[in-house]
Amino acid sequence: MQLEQFNYDNKIVRNFGLATIIWGIVGMSVGLLVALQLVWPDMNFGIQYTTFGRVRPVHTNAVIFAFVGNAIFMGVYYSLQRVLKARMFSDILSKLHFWGWQLIIIASAITLPMGFTSSHEYAEMEWPIDVAITLIWVVFGINMFGTIIKRRERHMYVAVWFYIATFVTVAVLHIVNSIQLPVTFWKSYYVYSGVQDALVQWWYGHNAVAFFLTTPFLGMMYYFLPKMANRPVYSYKLSILHFWSLIFIYIWAGPHHLLYTSLPSWVQSLGVVFSIMLIAPSWGGMINGLLTLRGAWDKVRTEPTLKFMVVALTAYGMATFEGPMLSLKQVNAIAHFTDWIVAHVHVGALGWNGFMTFAILYWLVPRIYKTELYSKKLANAHFWIGTLGILFYAIPMYWAAVVQGLMWKEFTPEGVLKYPNFLATTLEILPMHMMRAVGGALYLSGALLMTFNLVKTMAKGKLMANEPAEAPALEPVTKNERETHRRLERKPMLFMVLALLAILIGGIVEMVPTFTIQSNIPTIASVKPYTALELQGRDLYIKEGCVNCHTQTVRPFRSETSRYGEYSKSGEYVYDRPFLWGSKRTGPDLHRVGGKYPNKWHFDHLLDPTITSPGSIMPTYPWLIDQKLDNSIIKEKMNAMRVLGVPYSHKDIENAHADIAKQAEAIAKDLAANQVKVGSDREIIAIIAYLQRLGTDIKAEPAAAAASNVDSQN
């Protein structure tokens, strides 16, 4: 049989590898800064661009899309060529993909601190960047499927299945979650509102974790782990069951992020059921990986790459057990909005994604540079420092979560909240947050040690940019092949369509009724659109990233209605674009804050939170007093909202500037009467107007009635 000669493209692998290392250090450093700000708020240095609210999405997106994203492309470009026995389809597309992705990362790193944000978690970038992501993702898809089509290996190895599922699902998630109506180049509003927007966001948010942070890493696990251990994958049949059950079930689980909210209860229940079912396929993948190491445990003791892999798979198993547990309503009632969510996410990010990325880098770099790793001792040191970093990070966060959950819900024998002041809980967990920062510093130190080790490795070797390879031409189809899945592996386009159908079913079943059946979101006649000034204040609230610390949804628990007021109704959010329910309470819920405090309280709180709340870790916002409110596009904003169904009349829009001036002047006069002199044209006036509106559209139940609304967990 004649062999065909060709070359593997290692240069693109090297480029994505370098980007992984660089952006990893950047993302982890910003994460450490964020952790320090939750203990010492002055760590924002008094600059509006470095507050927690603005920097936190920089950290999350840098880790997810810059560090992990580049690691995915590094692993895919290396493994795809070798399992398909073909060079990537197009060198030009490879370069366009690489540089396009880096420009997207840089654009995000610039615009997010400036406050250009859509506020959707893990998708905060504004619409021009969303468009760029779509285009570059298509470039990646063409390059990947072009390579699959020109392959020299008839059957697609299991890793390729996960890469295909990743491509099609991320494309669907990103497009559906990014449907916005642009107002200007850096401002848009989502077409969805309130409850519907929440469902779309967490359908995306949960499955971004599933299909960006999980499925491509499972594909890489199936390639790199057998290579590192020099052992075959434990079970081909288990990999089939693992793959199809995982991609079908995962897509349904998003609503478990919205338990006890005003999302329709039937959708919440579906999310819970499928979340529990997820344990089986998730652990199937972990077991398949760990059992691949059978007979190779002596090698695990000596090879740092395998040490990283074992901990990565263990972290994956823990995170995928913890997720379903957090979806149980009894657990969710206590754990949600606490630091448990932070710990859960970071076990996956630091352990699963981070450690597998480190393992692949340590294994791959010496091979493409045709040399030995500079120092196994340094790699082993990195392993132990990184492992300690994970423990010092996660354990204090679990501890803090238990403290938070119990303190928030504790009542005295007389039936009143024992800790009515939210700040009491914040101050109680500060030592745990300090330990979390230590863990982050350790983890970052390990990454820096790895960087030194790999740079020295590259220096003593030489990149083989075009690695010679040979393989026979694509073999003919075997007519008598018995296994159905083997036949399917010969047809990549059919495989892609079936994977697409598997992931579409759950989203369609959950979203179509929520969007089309009116009874799912009952109308409340008293709920009115925001005034022009309140809309401006809401956009400033989003710009400052306040949603990263404050939720806006009161759950139907005795503890929450006693602390915050009447529980939230779905009809209250019909004009909220985007929804602002949040996912973590670093500060108290704000959905019923309107009218609770005078205007001067809000002014003082934004100027210096310690004036109203001694010991607060909230940053100061003096620039809101100094900066004039930009009303230049308010009419365009209201027109966009009108297109999306908000009942602004033409008169409302034409009189927007006059209405803003009138409402702002009233707030400024009230402040002046309380010895606070501030111009009515300042940003702080708009934010105060918005905060004073929150939760005032419906009448709260009498205190006795609210207190009687007790859930079984209290």
Residues at the binding site are 59, 206, 256-257, 344, 346
DSSP secondary-structure letter at 489? Answer: T
Side-chain-side CA neighbours of 703 within 13 Å: the count stands at 4
Neighbouring CB atoms inside 10 A of 268's CB total 20
- Asked if residues 33 and 60 have their Cβ atoms less than 8 Å apart, the reply is no
Q: Is the peptide bond before 578 cis (omega within 30 degrees of 0)?
A: yes
415: left (phi over 0), alpha (psi -120 to 50) or beta: left
Binding residues for Cu cation: 206, 256-257
The string of DSSP codes covering 158-227 is HHHHHHHHHHHHHHHHHHHHT-EEEEETTEEEESS-HHHHHHHHHHHHHHHHHHTTTHHHHHHHHHHHHH
Distance CA 408, CA 713 (A): 12
Neighbouring CB atoms inside 10 A of 119's CB total 23
Binding residues for heme b: 59, 344, 346
- Asked if residues 694 and 591 have their Cβ atoms less than 8 Å apart, the reply is yes
- Asked if residues 556 and 567 have their Cβ atoms less than 8 Å apart, the reply is yes
Q: Tell me which amino acid residue 34 is.
A: V
Q: What six digits make up the tokens of 653?
A: 């829009």
Distance CA 15, CA 74 (A): 8
Q: What six digits make up the tokens of 513?
A: 């009724």
Distance CA 182, CA 199 (A): 21
Distance CA 440, CA 168 (A): 34
Angle between the 158-177 and 69-84 helix axes, to the nearest 10 degrees? 140
Q: Which run of H or of E encompasses 407?
A: helix 376-409
Residue whose pair of structure tokens reads 């509006």 in the numeric block? 48
Distance CA 604, CA 622 (A): 10
In degrees rounded to 5, what are phi and psi of residue 221?
Answer: -60, -45
Q: What is the largest CA-CA distance in the chain?
A: 93
